[in-house]
Chains A and B, each alone.
Chain A
Amino acid sequence: MSRKIAYVQAFNEAVRQEMQANDDVFCAGEDIGAFGGVFQSYAGLQKEFGERRVVDTPISEQAIIGLGVGAAVAGLRPIVDIMFMDFIAVAFDQIINQAAKLKYMFGGSATVPMTITTGGGGGLSAAAQHSQSLEALICHIPGLKVVYPSNPYDMKGLMTSCIRENNPTIMIKHKRLLGMQGDVPEEPYAIPLGKANILREGTDVTVVSWAKMANDSVDVADQLASEGISVEVIDPRTMQPLDTETIVASVKKTNRVIVVHEAVRFAGLGAEVAAQIQEEAFDYLDAPVGRVAAPFSPVPFSPVLEAHYQPSPDRITEAIRSVLARPGA
């Protein structure tokens, strides 16, 4: 049975159902217990599972991740919350040097079945330290898996997979999508990590995009359809590992592709996607891979600046037109 619920509720439901199924699953983070988390992602869970399993922590990001790493190696299945993605910087040693590497360094003997959950993305005038899209930073680290869903259905299925995964995963919730409504089955289900979703099928051009930008790209595609331009939108959903196969298959069909993301362009994931496309489908390309991304600056506070900073539907449209303008082979 499926019904409409919000993105944030889909997250909450995945956590609740996995906690019901497995006593090893517990949650820890700032304000997540009695208060339910600043985004209400953890609402009601402490009430249902008690303070043993839903733990309010001090403001101690490094120790929060460390708690997850240690408890995971000791056999539990932690979900640890870092309120805003920007704050992962405070805990980077535990994420990059510990969680990501223990299995490898220990010759495979340790597993770290930990999920880090965090709020990412801009658009709230929250300025430079509460608006970042840092997915490229963490995708660069072997040993981590990174998920960034664009809708409630994917959220529940991917969060379920994260919790069941025997590797450290980072689930990024886009702050602007928390209230997004969508059909979500009541029963537990898992969407495999590393599988892209074709959000909209098309034949003229491929747009690769994720989280809020994926939805904005679908809106643009709907607009362009009225002009007879057929846009395929691919949402990788999992950023690490990246489903290159689905992207490449689409490019082989459309011969033109752009990547749209909120993070800054330089060394953003668009660079990786573009590189993989040219490695795997160079002969199919009718135009250089286009990128729509943020300029190389911190996220500005003023809404007037941020509106120009973030990729807009206009910029996405323009980029699509520009790859379409190149004569085909």
Chain B
Amino acid sequence: MELSNDVLMDMHRRMVRIRLFEEAAGRLAEAAKLPGFLHLYVGQEAVASGVCAALTDQDQITSTHRGHGHLVAKGGEFKPMMAELMAKSTGYNKGKGGSMHISNLDVGMFGANGIVGAGAPIAVGAGFANKYRDDGNVAAAFFGDGSTNIGAFHEAANMACALQLPVLFICENNEYGEFTPRDKTMAITDIVDRAAGYGMPGVIVDGMDVVAIHEATVEAKARAVRGDGPSLIEAKTYRFYNHHGVQNLGLKYRTDDEVEVWKQRDPIFTFEDRMIDANNASRDDFDAVWAELRADIEEAIQFAEDSPFPTPDQILVDVYSDTPSATSGAAQ
């Protein structure tokens, strides 16, 4: 598959946007400006970027507790995202969800999720709606290696295959669930082995290579759109920071050497090197992208800091929809 420079640079931009957003979030958390839990996506940028570059705004994704990267890659804007992390009323979720529930339906992002495994069945529902309306859209479920140990994943995978729904199962295998290594919690090494049990194809891709991820997604999407059902893509990747928070080295459940080895394979820097080696882009081109997006991040932080907190009268708002549909027409 020959990818145009536009696509390549677009994917790069998505990755850098994620990296900058996450590094900024980490700094803000350290400065005690972000309430609640923070699960950073740094290291895994290629997965969300490669997948989402193959999707449209109408295609849906479901996400995980580590969800900022998915939303950024899907087209989420910095300002309402940063405001949400700071619990402000101008955030995507009006300050009611925060990092773990950040969402934006306008770009088809059905929410980060605090319950491990809960996203996959919801992606099945979105895929069902796509098939029902025959609109050619697909739904992609992002989930971690650890989440494939929960019943919800298995029920979702089976149902999507049984109903031949346009669903992409995107596993981000970063080798750990919280503080416990994968080999303590499953007897297989490759999550992709699970795909055959449900009757869907599965591929392993290098999760640090945005091009490989993109190509696999394009293929899986084409298959889903043709009506041939779901696929599973397992991206082998790594999170550079701790399960939550901003510590990276000196953790008791993994070695610093392991972190260093993975950091050598940084998805953004290795991509830039390859592009430069192939004369597809110059260092200056990349520097310009970083500089532009850095300015965007600073602006978003300022916006979030200047934004008001929600007022207590908002507590009881949006528990329910207030008005029924006038007819049984489309729900809003």
List CB contacts (< 8 Å) of B32-59 with chain A: 35-37
Judge whether A296 is part of the interface by a CB distance below 8 angstroms.
yes
Q: Which residues of B contact A128 (CB under 8 A)?
A: 96-97, 101, 114
Q: Which residues of A contact B146 (CB under 8 A)?
A: 58-59
Asked if A126 and B116 sit within 8 Å, CB to CB, the answer is: no
A34-B253, A86-B114, A127-B97 as given contacts; A302 in contact with B179, CB under 8 Å: no
List CB contacts (< 8 Å) of A30-50 with chain B: 30-31, 33-35, 38
User: How many angstroms from the CA of A296 to the CA of B319 in the assembled complex?
Assistant: 8
Asked if B101 and A301 sit within 8 Å, CB to CB, the answer is: yes
Asked if A124 and B36 sit within 8 Å, CB to CB, the answer is: yes
Min CB distance B114 to A, Å, is 3
Pick the interface stretch among B13-21, B199-207, B292-300, B309-317: B309-317
Main secondary structure of the interface of A (DSSP, over half): loop
List CB contacts (< 8 Å) of B245-266 with chain A: 252-253
User: How many angstroms from the CA of A295 to the CA of B252 in the assembled complex?
Assistant: 41
Judge whether A192 is part of the interface by a CB distance below 8 angstroms.
no
Judge whether A17 is part of the interface by a CB distance below 8 angstroms.
no
User: How many angstroms from the CA of A168 to the CA of B88 in the assembled complex?
Assistant: 42
User: How many angstroms from the CA of A268 to the CA of B63 in the assembled complex?
Assistant: 32
A59-B149, A301-B96 as given contacts; A126 in contact with B253, CB under 8 Å: no
Binary A-proximity of B100-121 (CB < 8 A = 1, otherwise 0) = 1100000000000111110000
Judge whether A75 is part of the interface by a CB distance below 8 angstroms.
no
Binary B-proximity of A101-141 (CB < 8 A = 1, otherwise 0) = 00000000000000000000000111111100000000000
Judge whether A188 is part of the interface by a CB distance below 8 angstroms.
no
Q: Which residues of A contact B117 (CB under 8 A)?
A: 59, 90
Judge whether A98 is part of the interface by a CB distance below 8 angstroms.
no
User: How many angstroms from the CA of A61 to the CA of B93 in the assembled complex?
Assistant: 28
A87-B115, A308-B315 as given contacts; A303 in contact with B35, CB under 8 Å: yes
Q: Which residues of B contact A304 (CB under 8 A)?
A: 87, 95, 309-312
Task: Choose among B151, B310, B314, B315 the residue that contacts A60 (Cβ–Cβ < 8 A).
Answer: B151
Min CB distance A15 to B, Å, is 19
Task: Choose among B95, B147, B150 the residue that contacts A305 (Cβ–Cβ < 8 A).
Answer: B95
Judge whether A57 is part of the interface by a CB distance below 8 angstroms.
yes
Judge whether A185 is part of the interface by a CB distance below 8 angstroms.
no
List CB contacts (< 8 Å) of B114-163 with chain A: 114-117, 146-147, 149-152
List CB contacts (< 8 Å) of B303-329 with chain A: 309-312, 314-316, 319
Min CB distance B172 to A, Å, is 14
Asked if A127 and B149 sit within 8 Å, CB to CB, the answer is: no
Min CB distance B26 to A, Å, is 17
User: How many angstroms from the CA of A126 to the CA of B178 in the assembled complex?
Assistant: 17
Asked if B96 and A300 sit within 8 Å, CB to CB, the answer is: yes
Judge whether A297 is part of the interface by a CB distance below 8 angstroms.
yes
User: How many angstroms from the CA of A214 to the CA of B55 in the assembled complex?
Assistant: 52
Asked if B180 and A31 sit within 8 Å, CB to CB, the answer is: yes
Please give me the residue from chain A that is nearest to B319 by CB atom.
A297
Please give me the residue from chain A that is nearest to B89 by CB atom.
A302
Please give me the residue from chain A that is nearest to B87 by CB atom.
A302
Asked if A301 and B93 sit within 8 Å, CB to CB, the answer is: yes
Please give me the residue from chain B that is nearest to A300 by CB atom.
B96
Min CB distance B205 to A, Å, is 23
Judge whether B98 is part of the interface by a CB distance below 8 angstroms.
yes
Asked if A308 and B97 sit within 8 Å, CB to CB, the answer is: no
Q: Which residues of B contact A129 (CB under 8 A)?
A: 100-101, 113-115
List CB contacts (< 8 Å) of A52-87 with chain B: 56-63, 86-87
User: How many angstroms from the CA of A309 to the CA of B36 in the assembled complex?
Assistant: 16
User: How many angstroms from the CA of A38 to the CA of B87 in the assembled complex?
Assistant: 24
A87-B115, A129-B115, A300-B95 as given contacts; A305 in contact with B36, CB under 8 Å: no
Judge whether A179 is part of the interface by a CB distance below 8 angstroms.
no
Asked if A301 and B95 sit within 8 Å, CB to CB, the answer is: yes
Min CB distance B121 to A, Å, is 12
Q: Which residues of B contact A33 (CB under 8 A)?
A: 180, 184
Please give me the residue from chain A that is nearest to B34 by CB atom.
A125
Please give me the residue from chain A that is nearest to B97 by CB atom.
A301
List 6 A-B residue pairs with CB atoms under 8 Å apart, sorted by A's residue number: A30-B178, A87-B115, A90-B117, A127-B97, A302-B35, A308-B315
The 7 closest A-B pairs by CB, nearest first: A129-B114, A58-B149, A125-B35, A301-B98, A302-B87, A302-B95, A125-B36
